[in-house]
Amino acid sequence: MSSISAVDVIAIKRDGGVLSDEMINWVLDAYQRRVVADEQMSALLMAVFVNGMTSTELATWTDSMIASGERLDLSMLSRPTVDKHSTGGVGDKVSLVLAALVAACGAAVPQLSGRGLGYTGGTLDKLESIPGWRASLSNEEILAQLEAVGAVICAAGAGLAPVDAKLYALRDVTATVESIPLIASSIMSKKIAEGTGGLVLDVKVGRGAFIRDVERARELAHTMVRLGQAHGVATVAKLTPMDEPLGLAVGNALEVAESVEVLRGAGPDDVRALTLELATIMMELAGLDADPATKLADGSAYEVYQRMILAQGGDPDAELPRARVNESVRSPRAGFIRRVDAHVVGVAAWRLGAGRARKEDPVSPSAGVLCRVVAGDAIERGQPLFDLHADDEAHLVAGRDAIAGAVEIGDEPIGAATNNLGLVRG
């Protein structure tokens, strides 16, 4: 019987002390076994939120989360493995294009993804708008698809870092989500457990991102890169601005359609540019000498995407769901678009039905916002700014109210914004 108690662990961290490896391993294991109660773990999470963790504490905490479940073994694959994780942003549909593109370049991409919560969309929600597509695969199905197709986007199995699911649910209701060590251990425990050899982290920062401050985003990036490298995963992080939506489409089926446009050689420039930048880094980590731009231009990536969707029961050529009610929001004046606020657009898409307030809530596959302008555009009075899509009038009204103030219009044109916040390699 352990001599460690939950009260002692809480008190040490509450007072700014350092938890021993034994204490961390015991408390996470005991919580998973329901020996430690939710209210006790809530207190510990708040103590971590306030006082942080040392690098040693964080390493042990992450190790313990990984050890709480199984680890995928990808060593039998004939391709090098590399993955990408985004911290989430408005209109971020890059995974849908990137997985297929990197597979077309010769890597195996095990994209174990999640669902959206609040105004940032989830990759699985987007793909589930494709008729027949399924998110849940067995480990055997994941391995077979990676070998045959080169890419899989699916739900992370319950066996990977299972204590994280319990901790995340608790963080969500205790205002401790934004703790950098808790974010880093949550993301990296699952990514390390999935067994990939390389990992690119796309850390969003700005109005439409989870983290709005560049320095906090950089701290998170460094923390996650160090965790990955310490576990033998070649890890690089890119900081990406998220003050404006990525691309023009925000919403599940709308984003799938835009992703297909990019895969077929068209689509918004910013989505294509970010995808190619991330793909190039992934090629480096996988040790492959391939040109992602060529694979995008010659249709190879689109072919892999079709095979990936088919392998998971979906019909890549099926018509996507369409909203029952639609409305355009028009400009009240002429001028130049100075800003399209990603946060406001994301909230509007959520209110239209594209997002969820709780994990168990359903989402509308067809709801969302289609942006008709970007920063720098000249605009005339009455010209469409946004197209709103919803399943009913009540959601349309909620979205219309939420989109107010999303665009700032000025009298003079603005200069081009930079998208380069740099890479973090250690």
* Helices H / strands E in the chain, number of each: 16, 13
Q: Which of 83, 92, 125, 164 is catalytic?
A: 164
Write the CA distances from 159 to 75, 193, 300, 390, integer angstroms.
19, 9, 33, 36
Query: pLDDT value at position 111?
Result: 93
71 is a catalytic site residue: no
Which of the residues 13, 84, 190, 272 is marked catalytic? 190
Residue tagged active-site, from 85, 207, 226, 272: 85
Fold of 325-410: Aldehyde Oxidoreductase; domain 3 (3.90.1170)
Catalytic, 186? Answer yes
Cβ proximity of 320 and 81 under 8 Å:
no
CATH number corresponding to 82-311: 3.40.1030.10
Instruction: Break the chain into its structural domains and give their ranges.
Output: 6-52, 82-311, 325-410
> Is 377 within 8 Å of 268 (Cβ atoms)?
no
216 is catalytic: no
| pLDDT tens string 279-338 | 999 999 999 999 999 999 999 999 999 999 999 999 999 999 999 999 999 999 999 999
Residue 246 neighbours by CB under 8 Å, 6+ apart: 89, 90, 91, 92, 93, 94, 270, 271, 274
Question: Which residue of the set 186, 300, 331, 364 is catalytic?
Answer: 186
Tokens of 363: 């989402």
Position 418 scores a pLDDT of 64
pLDDT digits (tens, 9 = 90+) for 278-294: 999 999 999 999 999 99
Regions of the chain short of the pLDDT cut 50:
none
Q: What is the pTM of this model?
A: 0.94
The answer to whether 10 touches 48, Cβ cutoff 8 Å, is no
Q: Which of 13, 171, 356, 389 is catalytic?
A: 171
